[in-house]
Amino acid sequence: MTSAIDRVVSLLVDAGYRRLRKSLEISSIKFDFSAALIGGERALDLVLVADTARESSERLRQKLESLSRALDIVESRRSVTAVLVGPGLSAPTLEQIGRIARVLVIEPTSDIDGDADVHDKLAVLLPLPLVDSLSGLADSLGDLSRHLGKANDDPIAKELVTAATKGSEAVVECLRTLVQGPLTQLDEEE
């Protein structure tokens, strides 16, 4: 399981989490997990990584409950996430742990050899990727021009497209002017 745990830790550290000592100490009580990490500048996450192959589900549940109580006593605002790496635990045990921590389970499968599977399972802890450039964003004016085709040469269409670059209020004003212009001319002719 160590390689899977190392992948989990590596992914979280790359995402800005900071690794703590293996033996976590809260209020002079030591808690031993395979790994412990805390969120970056803006996150109050405490992520605990446990190897379910090496530790009994009952002992793991007891440690997490004790840790939760210790955090309550020191009035910590950190949310606890338990990343359980290894064979799956029973549904009742997962439910009990889920009452005190967010639970992410990474079971050994043939797919676990790749970081993509681990990344998917840890997605709730990872930041969203930012778009590198604006080129992938929608070009609504370009789409409109392509849709209009030959009508782009029409003076009314040109006025409306130009107004569209200034916002919806400009389009409304342009339409008002375009409609009122001929009506005003008809009133003057009568």
User: What's at 93, amino acid-wise?
Assistant: T
**38-57 average pLDDT score:** 86
**73-80 average pLDDT score:** 89
Instruction: Using alpha carbons, select from 9, 28, 27 the residue that is nearest to residue 19.
Output: 9
The pLDDT > 70 percentage for the chain reads: 87
Say whether domain 2-125 belongs to CATH 3.40.1350.
Answer: yes
pLDDT higher at 163 or 22: 163
pTM, 2 dp: 0.65
pLDDT higher at 182 or 19: 19
Q: What was the pLDDT predicted at 109? A: 65
165 by Cβ neighbours in 10 Å (0-12 / 13-18 / 19+) ranks as exposed
pLDDT higher at 128 or 87: 87
Please write the tens of the pLDDT for every residue from 108-135: 765 545 667 788 888 888 888 776 655 5
Q: What was the pLDDT predicted at 114? A: 60
- Residue spans per domain, the chain: 2-125, 138-189
Mapped onto helix, strand or coil, the DSSP state of residue 146 is: helix
- Averaged pLDDT score across all residues of the chain: 83
